[in-house]
Amino acid sequence: MLPDWLRIELQQRWERLMERLGVPTARRWINEYPTVVSSIAAASAMLLLVIALWLLIPDKPMPVVTIEEEWYYDLNTGELFTAEKGLAPPIDAPSGPSPDGKPAGVRAYVLSYVSEPNESERFIAFLETTAPAEMLAKWPKRPDSRSAARKWGKGKLIRKVDDTLWIPADSRLGLQLVEEAFAPNKDGVRPTYCPPR
């Protein structure tokens, strides 16, 4: 901070310079022209209001996109295909039934870290199928949970594409697999679901 004597000296020199140039100090100018100052303040406030309304009111509403199909994975060929939304896997696959005679189509969760991905920017996070009735009968009874992930995973089996072992989606390992699938990348971006086109 400047010493008082230097600050006073600089202030006096500044005032003398302003007087020589004929520029009134701001305080004196405001006192001499209060209506101009009020008019400028009112115009600025009006301009700010117009800009705020223009930014807050959208031009047209965002279109609601209804997803009618979902991704499925053919366990025989390792290929993605689409089918009607809401089907409980396993479903019939384009290649036919699996070697054990059951349908070979399971639900695939296709994600991407970019908003408009091409085929190379998408990846299959995990696969989902419905647990068979005989497995559900032996399933350990878990207390009802408020966790949305546990409610979603009840009665479902999931696995990564490269794995062969299906795990209960509402188990600790299943929840961990889902959490890893939606984890952010090194840039901190979380993946989002890519609906079929």
> Strand 79-84 vs strand 192-193: parallel, antiparallel, or unpaired?
unpaired
pLDDT value at position 144? 65
**Nearest to 111, CA basis, from 197, 187, 190, 177:** 190
> pLDDT tens for residues 88-129?
899 999 999 998 899 999 999 999 998 888 888 899 999 999
Q: Which of 62-71, 72-81, 140-149 has the highest mean pLDDT?
A: 72-81
> pLDDT tens for residues 12-63?
887 777 777 766 566 676 677 778 778 888 888 899 888 888 777 777 776 7
Can you list the alpha helix ranges (DSSP code H) found in the chain?
4-21, 26-32, 34-56, 133-138, 148-153, 172-181
Residue 30 main-chain phi, psi, to 5 deg: -65, -40
Q: Domain residue spans in the chain?
A: 4-56, 69-193
**Nearest to 197, CA basis, from 68, 13, 40:** 68
Asked if pLDDT for residue 134 goes beyond 70, the answer is yes
* Between 21 and 80, residue with greater pLDDT: 80
> Strand 69-74 vs strand 192-193: parallel, antiparallel, or unpaired?
unpaired
Cα-to-chain-centroid distance, residue 26:
49
pLDDT value at position 57? 77
Residue 69 main-chain phi, psi, to 5 deg: -130, 160
The CA distance from 182 to 113, in Å, is 10
- 117 - beta bridge partners? none
Tell me, what amino acid is at 151? K
pTM higher than the cut 0.75 = no
> pLDDT tens for residues 137-189?
776 666 666 677 777 778 899 999 999 899 988 888 988 999 999 999 898 99
pLDDT value at position 22? 65
Query: How far is residue 151 from each of residues 140, 143, 170, measured CA to CA in Å?
Result: 15, 11, 7
Q: Is the dihedral of CA 197, 86, 79, 109 positive or negative?
A: positive
The CA distance from 172 to 182, in Å, is 16
pLDDT value at position 25? 62
